[in-house]
Amino acid sequence: MARCMERLKKGCHTAVDKGRLLEWIKVAYPETHKPPFTQKSFYRYSKWTRWLVWMTAKLVPFTEDIYRTVSAPKLHEDDFLVIKNSIFPKMDVMLSGIVSDIVVLLRHPCAVVRSLKRGIDLGLMSVPNANAVWNGYSDSLTQLGFTQDQVETFTVAELLALRWLCETLLSEKLAKQFRTKTLVYEHMLESPIVQWKETFDWLGIPFEPSVADYISKTSKPNWNVRQLLGKRGEYYSISGPRRRGEASAAEIALDEQESQQVLGIVCPHFDLSRHWSPASRSCY
């Protein structure tokens, strides 16, 4: 599946790649799926049956096919298949011929760069490579007036900002092809239930009380498995600076120079005031 996705992203896919990908998406694989602890109406077998077969497939060689059979969904016309993925070039090729709604989660570029730099500092993410950024987004970058020589001189913050800009512009390109709704990350932190209720209404999915209860609990967890990571776990927290101590917020914030580098890349090509007030960038 990884090789198939690479061909799709590069636009050099074969005639059968998309069909294979759609079949793969609908079938569970023990290598990439979490333990099936919940019962869903579109599965033929109970959660405990799927859990036991999942454990067997993880421990016993050559039993993956049994898990795929047990976890094959029984989808009907009114069932939703949700594909979680980041925007990438040629994504419109993968989605062509599919009736799809696109939900884009948009986060302020300074906050994205700050988060990614935090991951790099902790050794959880690799430092962006200028050649890789250029090769991945050369079409978009050329249209925006950037050159390869220019990109090779950019700092880490500028390279991360370039990726944010290209992916955001690609999401707007998809909006012309598909029905698209944009969710702003910072707004969701402030009012998660309101934001998700609007999204469910937009999708035409009933917003059940159990959904609101789940969002409330996960927005303010009493215990989190991320605590097992110790201090490194701070990177994974979605809490904004307003919910942290002042010192910890300052430790992970972008400095003024990095903020200006990010805004210098993004602002000439994307109007941030569409989603954020000018004063709000002081928190990033």
Same-domain status, 126 and 50 = no
Asked whether the whole model's pTM tops 0.75, one would answer no
* Separation in Å, CA 83 to CA 113, 194, 212, 283: 25, 23, 22, 31
Backbone angles phi, psi at 182, to 5 degrees: -105, 130
- Asked if the structure places residue 87 within a domain, the reply is no
- Total of domains in the chain: 2
- Asked if the structure places residue 90 within a domain, the reply is no
Same-domain status, 55 and 164 = no
Please give the Cα distance from 6 to 15 (Å, whole number): 14
- Asked if the structure places residue 28 within a domain, the reply is yes
- Asked if the structure places residue 235 within a domain, the reply is yes
Please give the Cα distance from 219 to 45 (Å, whole number): 31
Last residue of a domain, one of 55, 70, 85: 70
Taking every pair of Cα atoms in the chain, the longest distance, rounded to a whole number of angstroms, is: 57
What does the pLDDT read at residue 210?
85
- Asked if the structure places residue 198 within a domain, the reply is yes
Q: Stretch 3-14: mean pLDDT, rounded?
A: 78
Same-domain status, 152 and 270 = yes
pLDDT digits (tens, 9 = 90+) for 178-235: 888 999 998 988 888 999 999 999 988 889 888 888 888 776 645 454 444 444 444 4
Last residue of a domain, one of 26, 55, 70: 70
Tokens of 234: 């701070």
Same-domain status, 143 and 257 = yes
Same-domain status, 56 and 161 = no
Same-domain status, 111 and 36 = no
Give the type of residue at 185.
Answer: Y
pLDDT digits (tens, 9 = 90+) for 29-83: 666 666 666 667 778 888 888 888 888 888 888 888 888 888 887 777 777 777 7
Same-domain status, 168 and 214 = yes
pLDDT digits (tens, 9 = 90+) for 110-123: 999 998 988 888 77
pLDDT at residue 270 greater than cutoff 80: yes
Cβ atoms < 10 Å from Cβ of 259: 19
Same-domain status, 184 and 253 = yes
Same-domain status, 184 and 248 = yes
- Asked if the structure places residue 157 within a domain, the reply is yes
Same-domain status, 106 and 200 = yes
**Residue 63 structural domain:** 2-70
Same-domain status, 113 and 56 = no
- Asked if the structure places residue 60 within a domain, the reply is yes
Same-domain status, 100 and 56 = no
